[in-house]
């Protein structure tokens, strides 16, 4: 009989090999994962670099952390050899600063000890070391002579004469022991005796007048006030502008003829005849302007005018000018 051989049961195949599912993913998803991963890596690198940079204070263009600029040192208090500008202001006829001022201001810087290293030498006067004070009321001198040039171009005002003292005028002096105090201008002056009397001051600070005279185009008066014009570097120039301004208180068409030009204590005096016409007839007045420097303020002005019909009182102008004093 044929040999029957039992065949072995067929081997079952092993379980199928597991495949990676990456190949089954769409490419756009793969690119998205790669982009996100790259962004994370770059962000991490940037953070590390920023941390390292912030910890180094010596990077170009960066200052060291924790440094704060110190405030400038306060100016030192004036030492025994220095003074406040207002305390050094003196009534000089010229307000021009001296050549020593720039050097004085430079040397006045604070020394390491905190005290002022500048002091006026014994040979220097306060007027030489102090700059002209600047006051809010316009007392600081004008920077040029443009106003003076304009005044001299006025046909009513002749060129200034050579210095000449005011002579003794004719008439009664009006002298008395009483005085008028001008608190606004910082001066005092004589209160003239009768027939002079104190009158309403406006627009001046003080005002004294004579009775009205027949044939006079204006009233004789003696007034004082701060100068109503632009202050000049020289008191003589200031007096010139003041004299021109007084023509406003004389008849229309008045012209000046100088009779005196002289320095007075702390200022300047100009005396002049004012010529005009009254009803076609030639008339004149004797007048004078005295300008006095006032420390820290505008100069004071004394103005007197007396028409020729009252010439017997002209000497009161001498009395008034000589009586002018600082308060």
Q: Is the pTM of this model over 0.85?
A: no
Asked if pLDDT for residue 108 goes beyond 50, the answer is no
| Pairwise CA distance, residues 62 & 285, whole Å | 81
| Pairwise CA distance, residues 93 & 290, whole Å | 12
Residue pair 243/278 in contact (Cβ under 8 Å)? The answer is no
pLDDT band for position 142 (cuts 50, 70, 90): confident
For 209-229, write each residue's pLDDT tens digit: 999 998 888 999 999 999 999
Residues 6 or more apart in contact with residue 62 via CB below 8 angstroms: none
Q: 54 vs 48, 51, 69, 146, 309, CA distance in Å? A: 10, 5, 21, 64, 96
Asked if pLDDT for residue 120 goes beyond 90, the answer is no
Element (H, E) at 54: helix 27-54
Ordered structural domains, the chain, with CATH:
146-326 (3.40.1000.10)
């Amino acid at each position: 009989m044929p040999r029957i051989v039992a065949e072995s049961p067929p081997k079952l195949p092993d379980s199928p090999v597991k495949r990676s599912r990456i190949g089954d993913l769409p490419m756009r998803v793969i690119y998205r994962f790669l982009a996100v991963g790259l962004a994370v890596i770059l962000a991490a690198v940037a953070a590390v670099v920023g941390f390292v940079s912030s910890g180094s204070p010596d990077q170009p263009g960066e200052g060291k952390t924790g440094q704060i600029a110190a405030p400038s040192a306060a100016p030192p208090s004036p030492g025994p050899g220095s003074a406040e500008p207002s305390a050094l202001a003196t009534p000089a006829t010229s307000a021009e600063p001296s050549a020593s001022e720039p050097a004085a201001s430079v040397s006045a810087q604070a020394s390491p000890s905190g005290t002022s290293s500048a002091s006026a030498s014994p040979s220097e006067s306060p007027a030489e070391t102090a700059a002209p004070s600047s006051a809010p009321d316009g007392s600081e001198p004008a920077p040029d002579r443009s106003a003076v040039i304009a005044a001299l171009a006025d046909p009513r005002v002749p060129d200034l004469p050579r210095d000449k003292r005011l002579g003794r005028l004719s008439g009664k002096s009006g002298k008395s022991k009483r005085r008028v105090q001008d608190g606004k201008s910082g001066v005092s002056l004589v209160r003239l005796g009768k027939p002079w009397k104190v009158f309403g001051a406006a627009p001046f600070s003080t005002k004294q007048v004579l009775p009205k005279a027949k044939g006079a185009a204006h009233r004789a008066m003696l007034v004082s006030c701060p100068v109503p014009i632009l202050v000049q570097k020289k008191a003589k120039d200031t007096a010139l502008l003041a004299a021109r301004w007084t023509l406003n208180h004389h008849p229309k068409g008045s012209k000046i003829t100088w009779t005196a030009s002289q320095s007075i204590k702390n200022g300047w005096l100009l005396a002049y005849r004012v010529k005009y016409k009254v009803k076609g007839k030639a008339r004149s007045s004797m007048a004078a302007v005295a300008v006095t420097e006032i420390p820290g303020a505008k100069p004071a002005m004394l103005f007197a005018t007396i028409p020729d019909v009252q010439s017997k009182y002209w000497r009161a102008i001498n009395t008034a000018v000589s009586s002018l004093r600082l308060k």
